[in-house]
């Protein structure tokens, strides 16, 4: 009886502690999403802006118009490109930070974190000075005689991927660093002592141990890239075909809240399905 009372008290105390955070999440996240979901089934009216009804025409429009097919495919391509690029570029840096015994390690970590202190708009402005028609890259190449006319770098897929990659790279580095620091390298050393090559020790011992962290970093970065707005808008131009700028344009320019709401849920669904698919394929590969 006493134990039962103690358990009830513990459950009550835990519920009381969790209630404020639960209510905050419900009020600030779940409730707006439910309202947005209801909006997605309303109809757009040029005079009233939104007419309350229940229709699937907003979702049908997305799947029927080829323009929006291009938008979602471009979004997926940019997100995958930036995510894979962050893994390729971030792994060597994360490995070095995790393994180094230098007294400047903390300073190096601060250098990795430092770009996060700068807003996306400021970073995009920096890329504009590099990639612009009269930017550093074009001026340098023209002065060296490599090109005679400026190369069109701005407002291209390349500029958007590079800009997005620069935003998410610190997150990937920090994620991989934390994972690598927790690896028991004595197991890798044992494999090498038993005759395994460095390649086999890396692919069969080290890589499987860090794969959960790599997968976690992949999911985090992929979600950030799928929902990127400022960088694609500034480096790709107002008409760049990605979901977040397209969604915002439907709200700010057209005032089509029902269709914008449908785009938001389609973006969320594609992001979740893509993440689950990658997770499942990676888990099956590991097995």
**What are the start-end ranges of the E strands in 1-93?**
43-45, 49-51
Q: In the prediction, which pLDDT does 1 show?
A: 47
Between CA 92 and CA 100 the distance in angstroms is 12
**Cα dihedral across residues 73, 75, 77, 79: positive or negative:** negative
How does 154-171 read in b/e, with b if 16+ C-beta sit within 10 Å?
bbbbebbbbbbbbbbbbb
9 has pLDDT over 70: no
Query: 36 near 26, Cβ under 8 Å?
Result: no
Task: Please state the rounded mean pLDDT for residues 12-35.
Answer: 74
Query: 128 near 155, Cβ under 8 Å?
Result: no
The pair of three-digit structure tokens given for residue 113, joined into one six-digit string: 């974190």
**What are the start-end ranges of the E strands in the chain?**
43-45, 49-51
Between CA 128 and CA 169 the distance in angstroms is 19
More confident residue, 97 or 279: 97
Q: In the prediction, which pLDDT does 23 show?
A: 77
Cβ neighbourhood burial of 16 (10 Å; 0-12, 13-18, 19+): exposed
Between CA 79 and CA 271 the distance in angstroms is 10
Q: In the prediction, which pLDDT does 170 show?
A: 93
Give φ, ψ of 223 to 5 degrees: -65, -45
Give φ, ψ of 63 to 5 degrees: -80, -15
pLDDT in tens, 114-133: 888 888 888 888 898 888 88
Q: In the prediction, which pLDDT does 84 show?
A: 94
pLDDT in tens, 181-194: 988 888 888 888 88
Nearest to 139 by CA among 119, 153, 120: 153
Task: Please state the rounded mean pLDDT for residues 124-151.
Answer: 87
Query: 235 near 159, Cβ under 8 Å?
Result: yes
Number of residues assigned to the chain? 287
Q: Which of 64-68, 116-120, 276-280 has the highest mean pLDDT?
A: 64-68
Number of C-beta neighbours around residue 27 at 10 A: 10
Look up tokens 């997305």; give the residue.
62
More confident residue, 244 or 14: 244
Share of the chain above pLDDT 70, in %: 92
Nearest to 254 by CA among 50, 62, 21: 50
Nearest to 91 by CA among 233, 192, 202: 202
Would you list the domain boundaries of the chain?
Answer: 58-286
pLDDT in tens, 205-223: 888 888 888 888 898 899 9
Mean pLDDT, rounded, of the chain: 86
Task: Please state the rounded mean pLDDT for residues 35-63.
Answer: 87
287 has pLDDT over 70: no
231 has pLDDT over 60: yes
19 has pLDDT over 50: yes
Q: What is the CATH number of domain 58-286?
A: 1.10.3720.10
Cβ neighbourhood burial of 46 (10 Å; 0-12, 13-18, 19+): exposed
């Amino acid at each position: 009886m006493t134990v039962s009372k103690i358990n009830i008290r513990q459950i009550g105390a835990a519920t009381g502690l969790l209630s404020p955070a639960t209510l905050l999440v419900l009020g600030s996240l779940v409730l707006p999403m439910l309202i947005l979901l209801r909006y997605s089934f309303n109809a757009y009216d040029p005079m009233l802006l939104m007419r309350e009804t229940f229709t699937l025409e907003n979702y049908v429009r997305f799947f029927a118009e080829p323009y929006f097919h291009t938008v979602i495919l471009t979004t997926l391509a940019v997100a995958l490109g930036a995510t894979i690029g962050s893994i390729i570029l971030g792994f060597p840096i994360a490995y070095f930070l995790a393994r180094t015994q230098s007294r400047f390690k903390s300073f190096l970590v601060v250098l990795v974190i430092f770009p996060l202190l700068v807003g996306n708009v400021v970073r995009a402005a920096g890329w504009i000075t590099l990639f612009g028609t009269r930017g550093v890259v074009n001026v340098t190449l023209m002065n060296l005689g490599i090109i005679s006319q400026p190369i069109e770098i701005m407002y291209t897929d390349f500029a958007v991927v590079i800009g997005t990659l620069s935003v998410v790279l610190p997150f990937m580095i920090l994620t991989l660093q934390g994972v690598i620091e927790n690896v028991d390298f004595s197991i890798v050393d044992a494999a090498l002592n038993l005759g395994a090559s460095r390649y086999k020790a890396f692919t069969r011992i080290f890589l499987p141990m860090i794969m959960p962290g790599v997968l976690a970093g992949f999911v985090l970065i992929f979600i950030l890239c799928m929902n990127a707005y400022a960088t694609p808008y500034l480096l790709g131009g107002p008409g760049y075909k990605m979901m977040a700028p397209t969604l915002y344009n439907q709200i700010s320019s057209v005032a089509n809240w029902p269709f914008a709401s449908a785009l938001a849920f389609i973006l969320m669904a594609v992001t979740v399905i893509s993440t689950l698919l990658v997770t499942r394929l990676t888990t099956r590969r590991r097995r």
